Amino acid sequence: MSESELNINELKKVRLEKLAELKEMGIEPFGRRFERDSMAQNIKETFSEWEGKTIAIAGRIMSKRRHGKAGFANLADLSGSIQLYFRQDDLGPEKYELYKKLDIGDILGIQGEVFRTQKGEISIHVRNLYYLSKSLTPLPEKWHGLKDVELRYRQRYVDLIVNPEVKEVFVKRSRIIKEMRNYLDDRGFLEVETPMMQPIPGGATARPFITHHNALDMELYLRIAPELYLKRLIVGGLEKVYEINRNFRNEGISTRHNPEFTMLEIYQAYGDYEVMMQLCEDLISAVMFKVNGSMQIDFEGQQLDFTPPWRRVTMLDAIKEATGLDFSLIKGDEDARQAARQLGLEVKEGASRGELINEIFEQFVEDKLIQPTFVYGHPVEVSPLAKRNLKTPEFTDRFELFIMQREIANAFSELNDPIDQKERFIKQVEKRAGGDAEAHMMDEDYINALEYGMPPAGGMGIGIDRLVMLMTDSPSIRDVILFPTLRPRINEP
RNA sequence: GGGCCAUUAGCUCAGGAGGUAGAGCACCUGACUUUUAAUCAGGGUGUCCCAGGUUCGAGUCCUGGAUGGCUCACCA
C-alpha cells in the first residue's frame, strides 16, 4: 500500500467500498457518453412546456433527502439545479438501491418525467439513472460552501462546484471578452497573435520573466507587452489590429496584480490618442451595456456610472485640482523638485520635472478618480513610446482611463519617428545601466521597422482582469482569474 | 521584501486564566413512499500548520519556519 492509501480518511474509504459494491452489481461507476436533451434551469423556466414529458438530463448530485422507500436529490448542471424524485415502487428495488448508494458529488445521467411536487417544486420523477462518475472525495458543506480562500484558489474545481456565484463571475468574464471581440471585429479590426517569448521584452516598463531556449541556446523573455510587435504589423500594413492575450511581469502579487494577466491591445493606423479615447469609451460602455444591461454598477458599495461621455482632464489640471500646484507655471527641474518637496514627497537626486509630475499625480490624484475619467497629457519622460504633443513637446499625446482609483486603460498616439524613438531608447538604456531593471532595452529591429515608415497610429491597452473585476464587483484580481499564481504547496493535493 | 492577522474533524467554526478535543453540516447505523438547510434515535471520524523551547503538564505561553489574507513598497 502506498502512503496516500494508508492516510486515506474514513469518508473516502466508505466511498471506495460503495464503488466496489457498484462493480459487484455490474454497474460501471465511471460511465461514458450520455445524450441529454434538457438543462435544469430551462426546465424550471418553461415548466408548462415540459410537464409530463420524459427528458434526459445530466449533472452532479448536490444534496440528498431519503424517506424510507422514496427520496429526493438535487442535480446541478451548468445552468442550475433541479430536484430529482426517486420512488422504489416506480424504480424497482435494484435501481432504488442505486439511489440509496448515491453520494453527494456523484455525476449521474437521469431519465424521467417532469412534474411538480405537492410543495410546488419542479422536479424530475426518475425512471432510470446512470452512473457517469462516482465521486470519491466528499464535497465541502452544502450550507456554508467553501470559504477558505486558499483552498478556493488552489482547488478552483471545488470552488466552482460548490459556490455558484464563482461560476457566474467566469461566465461573465467570458461574455465580456466575447463582446469585445464582437465589437472590434465588427469595426474591421484584425485579431492577431504575436510572440509570448521575446528576445527583447519591450512595450512597457516592467521586470520580465526569463527563460532559456535549449536548441537556440539563448535567453528568451516572457513578454511584458505585445506592443512593439503589434506596431510592426502597423508598419506591415495590417492597419487595424488587436490582440487579447496574456502578459507576464515578474513583480509583486497583490489584490490588483497577478504575474500573468490579460491585456487587450488595439492599434489603428492613421488614428491618434483622441480616436483611441473615443474607441475606449464606446467599447467599454457597449460591453458594459451588453453584459450588465445597465450603465450603472455597484462596486464595493460605490455606484459607478459608465454613461458616456466620461470626464476628460489633463494631468496638470488634475494635479492643480488636487494639490493647488500649477505646473504650467513651474518650469524647470529645480523648481519642480522644490514644489514636490513642499508636498512632502521624497525627491530623488536629479529627478526631472516630468518624472515629478507623474509621481505627484500618482500620489495625490489617482485615489480621487472614482467615476470613469480620462487623464491625458503625460510627461514624455514616463512615456517612451508615445508621440510628443505638438504645442508642448515635453508632454505626450497620451491618456489613461481611471475608474475606481485603478488604471484601466493606457493609450497614446504612437511615436513613429525612428530618430526620436532611438533617442528615447538610448535614454532608457542609460537608466537601465544606472540600475533601473524596468527600463527599456534597445530594440534595433523595432527601430529598423520604424525606419521603413509607420503610419501615424493610435494604440491602446485595456487591462481585462481589472475591467472584469469592476464589472463583477470582485475585490481581488484572484477572483477573476481561474487559477491565480500561488506558491506551490508540498504534501498537499 | 516590511508590518498586522490567520491556520483546530472532509467543510464552516467554538475552545475564558496552561489541566489532555467540541458544535453544526457531511459521514455511518436504524425509522420514515412528495421532502427541500427534511425530521427522529444512536455513533466522533483529529499530525490542534511544522520544528524547537518553557512547564509536572502546551491547541493555549516563547522562538524559528511554512502557507494564506490584508496592508505598505513595486507595478498594470
Write out pLDDT tens, residues A352-405: 999 999 999 999 999 999 999 999 999 998 898 899 999 999 999 999 999 999
Q: What is the pLDDT of residue A163?
A: 92
- pLDDT on residue A492: 42
Strands in A311-314's sheet, in edge-to-edge order, are A190-191, A240-248, A260-269, A457-463, A406-413, A398-403, A373-376, A311-314
CB-to-strand B under 7 Å, chain A 101-160: 103-104, 115, 117-121, 123, 125, 138, 140-151, 153
Helices (H), A208-332: 227-235, 273-292, 315-323
Mean pLDDT of A7-18: 79
Gap between the Cα atoms of A459 and A230, Å rounded? 9
Residue whose C-alpha is closest to residue A104's, from A48, A144, A159, A162? A162
Cα–Cα separations (whole angstroms), residue A215 to A52, A196, A220:
65, 18, 12
Shortest CA distance to A442 belongs to which of A418, A460, A458? Answer: A418
pLDDT in tens, A125-167: 999 999 999 999 999 988 888 999 999 999 999 999 999 999 9
| Tens of pLDDT, residues A478-491 | 999 999 999 876 54
Per-residue pLDDT tens for A376-386?
999 998 898 89
| Spatial distance between the Cα atoms of A191 and A193, rounded to a whole number of angstroms | 7
Would you state the pLDDT for residue A330? 92
Q: Residue A6: which pLDDT band, with cuts at 50, 70 and 90? A: very low
> What is the rounded distance in angstroms from the CA atom of residue A36 to the CA atom of residue A129?
12
Distance A406 CA to B3 C1' (A): 24
Q: Report whether pLDDT(A1) > 60.
A: no
**CA distances (Å), origin A6, targets A9, A13, A20, A220:** 8, 10, 18, 45
A100 touches strand B (CB under 7 A): no
Which pLDDT belongs to residue A345? 83
The yes-or-no verdict on residue A4 having pLDDT over 50 is no
CA angle in degrees (0–180, nearest 5) for A312-A280-A483: 120
- The Cα-based distances of A442 to A43, A194, A199, A218, A454 in angstroms read 61, 19, 11, 17, 18
- Is the C-beta of residue A345 closer than 7 Å to nucleic acid chain B? no
* Cα angle value A406/A407/A408 (rounded, 5°): 105
In CATH, what number does A3-139 get? 2.40.50.140
In whole angstroms, give the CA distance from residue A317 to residue A423.
29
Residues 2-21 of A with CB under 7 A from strand B: 9-11, 14, 18
Q: Is the CB of A251 under 7 A from strand B?
A: yes
Q: Report how far residue A253's alpha carbon sits from residue A136's, in angstroms, rounded to the nearest whole number.
A: 34
Q: What pLDDT score was predicted for residue A356?
A: 92
Q: So what's the pLDDT on residue A490?
A: 58
Q: What is the dihedral of CA A351, A355, A358, A363, to 10 degrees?
A: -20
**Where exactly does CATH 3.30.930.10 map onto chain A?**
162-310+371-479
CATH of the domain spanning A162-310+371-479, picked from 3.20.20.70, 3.10.450.50, 3.30.930.10, 3.30.70.580: 3.30.930.10
When mean pLDDT is compared across A21-25, A389-393, A432-436, A471-475, the lowest value belongs to A432-436
- Residue-averaged pLDDT of chain A: 92
Question: For residues A130 and A108, is the Cβ–Cβ distance under 8 A?
Answer: yes
E-assigned strand segments in A230-377: 240-248, 260-269, 296-299, 302-305, 311-314, 373-376
Instruction: List, for residues A74-104, the tens digit of each pLDDT value.
Output: 999 999 999 999 999 999 999 999 999 999 9
Q: Over range A268-297, report the average pLDDT.
A: 97
In this predicted structure, the answer to whether residue A62 has a pLDDT above a threshold of 60 is yes
The proportion of chain A whose per-residue pLDDT surpasses 90, expressed as a percent, equals: 83
The answer to whether strand B lies under 7 Å from the CB of residue A85 is: yes
- The answer to whether the beta carbon of residue A465 comes closer than 7 angstroms to any atom of strand B is yes
Rounded to whole angstroms, the distance from the CA of residue A223 to the C1' of nucleotide B42 is 63
**Would you give the DSSP letter of residue A367?**
G
Residue nearest to nucleotide B26 (CA to C1'): A141
- Residues A180 and A193: beta-carbon distance below 8 Å: no
Instruction: Specify which of A189-198, A319-328, A356-365 reaches the highest per-range mean pLDDT.
Output: A189-198
Q: Strand B: which of residues 288-327 in chain A lie with Cβ below 7 A?
A: none
3-state SS, A457-468, equals EEEEEEEHHHHH
Q: Where is average pLDDT lowest: A79-93, A258-272, A332-346?
A: A332-346
pLDDT (average), residues A216-233: 95
Q: How many CB atoms lie within 10 A of CB A264?
A: 20
Q: Where in chain A is the domain with CATH 2.40.50.140?
A: 3-139
